[in-house]
Structure 1
Amino acid sequence: MTFSDVVEAIKSLSNEEKLEIQLLLQQYLREERREEIYQNFQAAQVEQQNSELKFSSNIDELKQLIEE
């Protein structure tokens, strides 16, 4: 099934069904974002354990670290 097939199928649904799909999509997007945040957190923990993280309170140094 292609994306356009899905769009056409959604168009034919009732308002109640469309709202349910909207709620489901919002939930799926939240879950995916949470998983992404969790994966980034785990990667940061590994970097911290390997002493790969760099910290600074100097704004110029922070800018340079971001560019690296």
Structure 2
Amino acid sequence: MSFNDVVEVIKNLSTDEKREIQLLLSQYLREERRDEIYSNFKLAQSEQQNGELTFSSNLKELRQLLEE
């Protein structure tokens, strides 16, 4: 089923069904974002344990780190 087919099917749903789909999509997007944040956290945690992260409170040094 193509994206256009899905859109057409949704158009023909009742208002209540459309609201339910909206709620489900919001939930799915939240879950995906939560998974992405957790994955980034685990990666940063691993990088920190391996000594791959550099920290600084010096603005010039931070700019230099960002350019690398």
Q: What does the per-residue CA deviation read over 1:16-66, in whole Å, with 9 as the maximum and x for residues that have no partner? A: 000000000000000000000000000001101100110000111112212
Give the TM-score normalised by structure 2: 0.96
Deviation at 1:67, TM superposition (A): 2.2
Q: Which of structures 1 and 2 has the larger relative contact order (alpha carbons within 8 angstroms, sep 6+)?
A: 1
Moved over 4 A (4+): none
CA RMSD of aligned residues (A): 0.7
Cα separation, 1, equivalents of 2:23 and 2:29: 10
The residue type paired with residue 6 of structure 1 is: V
- TM-score (structure 1 length as normaliser): 0.96
Q: Does 1:32 align with 2:29?
A: no
Where structure 1 has 5 or more consecutive residues not aligned to the other structure, the ranges are none
Question: Identity over the aligned pairs, expressed in percent?
Answer: 72
Gaps of 5+ in 2: none
Aligned to 1:46: 46
**Which residue of the partner structure matches residue 59 of structure 1?**
59
